[in-house]
Structure 1
């Protein structure tokens, strides 16, 4: 259904370093980059290696705000170890814990996820919905 999603970020270098780190354990990479320090219109895109972007970060230094309560973006993880690595990388790169890695039985028998808030305030999740 979705082709891609874009987040407006206040500091493109900080945001791209954060997403480089947290998406790597999930198997996603930066698939394009338009970084021109000091200029407007900078952006980066993330997706599967060799594919197009599914998440774009766009520099919005003046007044960007993440969506309110109820919005979050969940990334598919290949296994539970990747969820753990996503969470650890997020905390090491300026994210805030919003739910440590673990089973969430109320979402499903095998729903293993971690939740963080990125440096710009976006709620993101990594989830593996498979047996251990």
Structure 2
């Protein structure tokens, strides 16, 4: 349904350092980097960071929550730990939680710009 999500950031190099490390834990790769855009995805570009002024960043508005799919629980743990190493803050430690699709293993962090990020592993039912 959604082709990609784009969020605004205030420092392209700071964003690259944080997101390159954190998204690598979920097997995302950087597809493009320009002076004002960084694009990530798995097979296709589906997450874009766009350089803008502080008017559009979450410090001056309501934070956005973006959930990324994880392939397993280890990726969720790595996502959380890597985010903290690169300046992120814990919103929710990795744990099993109830979710509309059933129980999931998930973590929540706040990135260096104030966005709320989540890694979610929907483990097979059985």
Q: In the alignment, is the contact (CA less than 8 A) between 1:87 and 1:114 conserved in 2?
A: yes
Q: Does 1:72 align with 2:27?
A: no
Deviation per CA, 1:43-89, whole angstroms, max 9, x where unpaired? 110001xx3310100111342322526x4110000000000000000
Deviation per CA, 1:28-49, whole angstroms, max 9, x where unpaired? 01011113xxxxxx1110001x
Q: In the alignment, is the contact (CA less than 8 A) between 2:8 and 2:50 conserved in 1?
A: yes
Partner of 1:45: 39
Q: Does 1:55 align with 2:51?
A: no
Name the CA distance, whole Å, in 2 between partners of 1:109 and 1:17.
34
Q: Which 4+ runs in 1 deviate beyond 4 A?
A: 106-109
Instruction: Give the aligned length.
Output: 123
Name the CA distance, whole Å, in 2 between partners of 1:92 and 1:104.
24
Name the CA distance, whole Å, in 1 between partners of 2:117 and 2:23.
11
| Root-mean-square deviation over aligned CA pairs | 1.8
**Residue 109 (structure 1) shift:** 4.8
Structure 1 residues without counterparts, runs of 5 or longer: 36-41
Mapping of residues 1-132 of structure 1, within 5 Å: 1-35=1-35, 42-48=36-42, 51-66=43-58, 68=62, 71-105=64-98, 107=100, 109-131=102-124
Structure 2 residues without counterparts, runs of 5 or longer: none
Q: Which moved more, 1:121-130 or 1:108-117?
A: 108-117
**What TM-score do you get using the length of structure 1 for normalisation?**
0.85
